[in-house]
Structure 1
Amino acid sequence: MENTILLLVGVTILVLVLFDFFYTTLSGSGLGFISKKVAVSAEKLVKFLVKIMGRNILKLSGLTVNLSMLFIWITLTWVGLFLVYSSNPEAIVNAQGDTADVWERLYFTGYIISTLGMGNFYPTTPFFEILTNCFAFLGFILFTSSMTYFISVASALVQKRTLIKTIHGLGTNPQTISEKLNSFSSSYSYQQLLNLQEMVDQHAVNHHAYPVVHFYTRPEPKDCLSLNMARLDEALSILIGSENKSKFQKELQPLRSAIYTFLQNLDSNFSRSMPKVKNPVQASYFGYHQSIKNDEEQKDRRRILERLLKSEGLKWSDVVQ
């Protein structure tokens, strides 16, 4: 009975962790349910350390999340396979033919997953021989797929930081950005807006396929996505309410729509990782509030942006300066 329980528990762990692993790395549809919990927990740990050690620890935020996920994948696979082997202790023996004890089975499981292949222990039944072969291949797939996934994350991170730098280059507050866009020639402004729309859309796609990108941030506020995205969104609101709104009306809407779609997806998929907003910022807080239509969409945009700002330890005063 005990052996049957060990087998069932081991198989269950393996099925869950392998589904989570392949869903996260190969589906392009976001994090699996285990990875999502691990990522959120790792981020909470980083935020706790920020309170003790300061914002410099944020440089390790994305790295911490990635390593935590990889650690959980390897550990759960190791534990699950160990329990399967332990369901029949006599199935693993050493070179002298003696049955492997608990620690030796744990060691054997580890070098099978890592494809080390020492050869000083081996399975004795056809079932466990085939199982050992399968998990030797799986170990290779696990490590190579993980590295491929993290390389893709690095590429998505570069695109995210390029978007941040592009917005920051336009200005350090909403008024400056709106004035700069308004001062450009029409053709140049249209090109800037089109480029920004493409970059926001690309980041939204990357963010959905590789959600760990969300957890990468920087100690310097100017390098944070939340700050620059809030400045850009507010600048677009100012332009739409300006006297020259007809100059940009058609060109602004696609970019504003792209930003709002990204913010809504962020609010839906990362609700647990972003702080709640009890008292949303009021329109009167902004010196330019009279030129902006304060409708429900605008309130919703600011609510989500405020959550994003708080998740990176920032506030609206950093946006408007």
Structure 2
Amino acid sequence: MGGVVVGGFGVVIILVVSYDFLRTAVSLSGTGFISRTIADGLWRLGSSAAATLERRRGISIRGLLGPSILFAVAATWVLLHLVGYVLIFRSGPSLWHPDTGAPATMVETIAFAGSTLSTLGASTVTATSGGWDVITMIVALNGMIVLTLSVSFLLSIVQTTNNARTFASRFRFLQSATPDSAVAERIESLGPDLLGVVVMLTASPLPRFFVPGDPVMDFPSAVADLCDLARRGTLSPSSEIVSSLRLLGRHLGKPSDGDDLERARAWAERHTIVRVPS
């Protein structure tokens, strides 16, 4: 009975983490609960630490926040998969030393599950029966899927981050180099670019944690300034760029922040680290 409970618990862990992984990496509809909790928690801690270090020591760790959060999320996926499969293998006489007939120890079970999940397949123990061989095959397939989709997921985050920084840079250039009489028209011409970035962020919000060292490329601060321009009436309410801001607020903001434009402004503030004047 104890083995069934342990194995069942392992299956539950695998199902939960698989859902979170697929929701975050594949669904194009945001992040799963586990990933969102880890990312938001680390962002609050990391952004506070970054601001404190810059203010007191003049040391910037902005560039480390995004990669660190992404690594933590990916490591959690791998670790929970490993824990789940270890529990499944420990639920019965699954692994043994074929030469001696001795059952695998906990350490050997962890090593076997890890090597199988990583698709390396190197271990000093082996499955005791055909049924456990099938489970081993499932573990290897699961690992291959996670590794393959993780690479695609990483590439999409890099692309979204680059597009967001490109948009922010173009906006800052137009803002500084365009005469006041034409600034609204020129900025509104960036509507398609902003819409593309917003759609990519709704599919995968994790690029919001990648903070550039150069403020010119800071996308959240650009969004905040655009929301201010829209509130002052500088930008046409029917323009594509204002519609994109509202779309961002509707999908990424919090309902308690107000209307869609206010949500977008609040989202930008939450993802902006105040810079120390140089």
Cα pair distance change 1:35/1:159, threshold 3 Å: same
1:262, distance to aligned residue in structure 2 (A): 1.3
1:203 is matched with: 197
Counting aligned pairs with the same residue, the percent is: 22
Aligned length: 271
Residue identity opposite 1:136 in structure 2: A
1:138, distance to aligned residue in structure 2 (A): 1.3
Structure number with greater Rg is 1
TM-score for the superposition, normalised by structure 1: 0.76
2:75 is matched with: 71
CA distance in 1, matches of 2:82, 2:169: 42
1:132 is matched with: 136
Residue identity opposite 1:58 in structure 2: R
Structure 1 gaps, min length 5: 184-188, 242-247, 277-295
1:112 is matched with: 116
2:95 is matched with: 92
Aligned alpha-carbon RMSD (Å): 2.7
Moved more, 114-123 or 4-13: 114-123
1:260 is matched with: 246
CA distance in 1, matches of 2:145, 2:105: 28
Structure 2 gaps, min length 5: none
Cα pair distance change 1:133/1:302, threshold 3 Å: closer
Equivalent in 209, 215, 222 of residue 215 of structure 1 = 209
CA distance in 1, matches of 2:220, 2:48: 20
1:51, distance to aligned residue in structure 2 (A): 4.2
Equivalent in 193, 217, 225 of residue 231 of structure 1 = 225
Residue identity opposite 2:115 in structure 1: Y
CA distance in 1, matches of 2:107, 2:247: 52
8 Å Cα contact 1:178/1:236 also seen in 2: no
CA distance in 1, matches of 2:88, 2:205: 32
TM-score for the superposition, normalised by structure 2: 0.87
Residue identity opposite 2:83 in structure 1: V
Instruction: Please give the residue correspondences for 1:18-167 in structure 2 after superposition, counting only pairs within 5 Å.
Output: 18-54=18-54, 56-88=60-92, 90-96=93-99, 97-167=101-171
Cα pair distance change 1:310/1:262, threshold 3 Å: closer
Residue identity opposite 2:265 in structure 1: L
Residue identity opposite 1:65 in structure 2: I
Cα pair distance change 1:111/1:233, threshold 3 Å: same
1:16, distance to aligned residue in structure 2 (A): 0.4
Structure 1's consecutive aligned runs of 4 or more residues displaced over 4 angstroms after TM superposition are none
1:45, distance to aligned residue in structure 2 (A): 2.8
1:263, distance to aligned residue in structure 2 (A): 2.3
8 Å Cα contact 1:61/1:215 also seen in 2: yes
